Structure 1
Amino acid sequence: MPQQRDAVFPAGPQTLYERNHYSPAIRAHGLLFVSGQVGSRKDGSPEPHVPTQVRLAFAHLNAVLHAAGCTFQDVIDVTVFVVDPQQHLQAVWDVVLQHWGEAPYPALTGVGATWLSGFHFEIKVIAKIPETAANR
């Protein structure tokens, strides 16, 4: 019998998830698949200041990880999307490194994008759910 999957929702406003009909994360087979997190304000609109937008994206990401009993140290794979990386990558990366943690670092794929619904940065991850959190 296949293992069931279940959605993970952080505490707080769910504006983007409700508006766009998706789950913040899916827990399945001991892994957590987190949807792309962006630097949205409480109303779902983009934060215009890029470094602040990246900080908010990490705050949203960390809230989803926490809701599943994980931390960023449990993340094994990261994909980041950056609009106009030639202009924004340094500002984005300066903030990313503040949240990255200690080695060994997760695998990383970076994608330059032309449009992210008004956002300049998006991060999606896969995390290994710790044994202590697996039974939540």
Structure 2
Amino acid sequence: MSARDVVFPAGRQALYERNRYSPAIRANGFLFVSGQVGSRPDGSPEPDLEAQVRRAFENLNGILSAAGCTFEDVIDVTVFVVDPAAKFDLIWRVVADYWGEAPHPTLTGIGVTWLYGFQFEIKVIAKLPESTAG
């Protein structure tokens, strides 16, 4: 197996190393991004749900940017939500600020019971620009 082509966002490498996973990996022209939550720089959850969703997108955008991508390059999205029946409307209002114009990426939404103290997580696959495809 060849070495993984890992992408780290600025300033968060220690957090990923401590938790033993890669934030994103380039492979075969795609960027596979680990689930991003609304964590503060120290890894703790943002307490307010709206702020947590915004921070999750900012964390995601930091990884996309480090790989030379934007959300426009995202082709597939998976979101995980604790108690989606109670939280989906608020979350989806915030998502609209980051989602962009149609056509939108594909989406899978999954209701979960636990996210390590978080309420929302977003995981994506993006198409790498030709100049950065690994």
- Relative to the length of structure 2, the TM-score reads 0.94
Once the 2 structures are TM-superposed, how far is the Cα of residue 3 of structure 1 from its aligned partner? 7.2
Mapped to 2, the partners of 1:55 and 1:42 lie a distance apart of 14
Q: Number of residues paired by the alignment?
A: 134
Q: Name the counterpart of 2:28.
A: 29
Q: Which amino acid aligns with 1:127?
A: A
Q: Within 1, Cα distance between the matches of 2:88 and 2:133?
A: 35
- Residue ranges of structure 2 left out of the alignment (5+ in a row): none
Q: Matched residue of 1:110: which SS?
A: strand
Q: Indicate conservation of the 8 Å contact 2:30/2:133, yes or no.
A: no
- Gap runs ≥5 in structure 1: none
- C-alpha deviations, 1:1-50, integer Å up to 9, x for none? x8764110010133541221000001000000000000001110101100
Structure 1 residue 81 corresponds to structure 2 residue 80: yes
Runs of 4+ in 1 over 3 A off after TM superposition: 2-5
Number of the residue aligned with 2:9: 10
Using structure 1 for the length normalisation, give the TM-score. 0.93
Cα RMSD, aligned residues only: 1.5
Of 42-51 and 13-22, the range deviating more from structure 2: 13-22
Matching of residues 117-132 of structure 1 within 5 Å: 117-132=116-131
Q: Give the structure 1 partner of residue 44 of structure 2.
A: 45
- How far is 1:104 from its partner? 1.0
